[in-house]
Amino acid sequence: MISIKQLNYALAVQETLHFKKAAEKCNISQSALSTALSELEKQLGLKIFERDNKKVLVTPVGKRVLLQARTIILQVNDLEQLAESHKLPFSYPLAIGMIPTIAPFLLPKLLPALKQQYPLARLNIVENQSQILVDMVRNGDLDAAILALPYPSDGLITLPFWEEDFYWIALKGKQHTQQEEITSKELSYCDLLLLEDGHCLKDHILDACKLTPPKSQQSFSATSLNTLIQMVLGNLGSTLIPEMAIDQLTSQHDSLSVVHLKEPGPHRKLAFIIRPNFTRLSSIEALMEIAKQSLNLQSK
């Protein structure tokens, strides 16, 4: 089989018209170069060079062979550069899934930092519930997804990058709102507003508080944390939200009290999920690092 090395050796001889100089250029012995070129000519069934003790000439058919060889070498170099660029972070757009209790609070911190560090990076964001995102990653519809753990994602690799606790949000003046921390025993479950079924945050809250869902459906439930906060402001109850959402959801409402949930934590972990053979790990690792930096700045 013809090798790239043989083609490079032949092009070196064409350039120097001298076997010894060509061998020095290729950092091999003259005999090794001669053997390789003889084998190349044998494989092709034609003579590329006419050579004697005084000079080297390129045959007419040899000129056509070497022209094609140069094209092949350039194409191989392009292929190697493409492969190398593929290893660099954000060489290609990334399709990333995020759950609704992460996306609105992480993206405003993540995207400006990403733009600053990687101006050409492109992300396609899909927001949906955990199970749908897990299926999309498995099927190759997404490159990765950011979920809150624990959550079943068998067959996928999880890459944790952030841990956080929950905080109780209630109108000021209610019982326990003057405390710095509140236990699950102190929470009145009938007063606790949760997201509707299907949102993993609801399960994480129930698990952190060691609570069981009520047998009857709640009178009030919501599909977003923003809606829960509006319900709290309307004096319909209290709720629990993750640390990353505190500033965005409560900073404009002086009437709200924020109290740390005093239960063993962290109450949830954030992680990327990817397929085991995903090839652009450098992009995910870079995105994880930027996400950690962004969230750490918020927590300081």
CA of 222: how far to CAs of 36, 93, 165, 238, 262, in Å? Answer: 74, 33, 21, 13, 24
In our burial notation (b when 16+ CB lie closer than 10 A, e otherwise), range 136-175 reads bbeeeebbbbbbbbebebeebbebebbebbbbbbbbeeee
pLDDT of residue 250: 92
Q: In order along the chain (300 residues), what is the average pLDDT of each group of 10 residues?
A: 91 91 92 93 92 85 92 81 68 90 93 92 93 93 92 92 93 88 77 80 81 54 86 90 92 92 89 89 91 78
Chain centroid to CA 188: 40
Q: Residues 157-190: pLDDT tens digits? A: 999 999 999 999 999 988 888 989 988 888 765 5
Q: Which fold has domain 166-261?
A: D-Maltodextrin-Binding Protein; domain 2 (3.40.190)
CA of 7: how far to CAs of 31, 33, 35, in Å? Answer: 16, 11, 13
Q: Residues 256-288: pLDDT tens digits? A: 999 999 988 788 999 999 998 887 888 899 999
Domain boundaries, the chain: 4-86, 94-163+268-299, 166-261
Where does residue 155 fall: left (phi above 0), alpha (psi -120 to 50 degrees), or beta otherwise?
A: left
Report the CATH superfamily, name and number, of domain 94-163+268-299: Periplasmic binding protein-like II (3.40.190.10)
* Domain 4-86 belongs in CATH node 1.10.10.10: yes
pTM above 0.85, yes or no: no
pLDDT of residue 217: 43
Domain pair 4-86 / 94-163+268-299, same fold: no
Strands (E), the chain: 49-51, 56-58, 94-98, 123-127, 144-149, 157-164, 166-171, 181-182, 192-193, 238-242, 256-261, 268-274
